[in-house]
Amino acid sequence: MRSHRVDFGADGSPIAASVNERVTSVPRERANSRPVVGVAQGQAKIAAIATALRGRLINGLITNETTARAVLAVAG
C-alpha cells in the first residue's frame, strides 16, 4: 500500500487530481467519531488549520493564542 499527498480545497474537501487515480492509500476518515488533534502555529499555517477544521479532518487543535485568534477571524 502506498501513501500519497492529497491536497484539500478551502472547504476541506479533497481536490480532484490525476495522481489520486494512480495510487492506493488508506481511506481518509473524517474526525467525527474519534479525537483527531492537530498541532500547528504561526501565520503560515492559519489557512491550513482553518481548512482542516472546516473539512472535519481534525476536531481539536494545539496552538498558541495568536494563531487561535487568527483562525477564529478567518472562520468568521
pLDDT tens per residue, the chain (76 residues)?
444 556 677 777 777 766 666 666 555 666 678 898 999 999 999 999 998 898 888 999 999 999 999 999 998 7
Inter-helix orientation angle 65-75/46-54, to 10°? 60
Closest CA to 8 of 38, 42, 35: 38
Grid coordinates representing 16?
480532484
Distance from chain centroid for Cα 48: 6
In this prediction the pTM is 0.69
In sequence order, what are the beta bridge partners of 38? Answer: 61
Structural domain spans, the chain? 30-75
Grid coordinates representing 66?
495568536
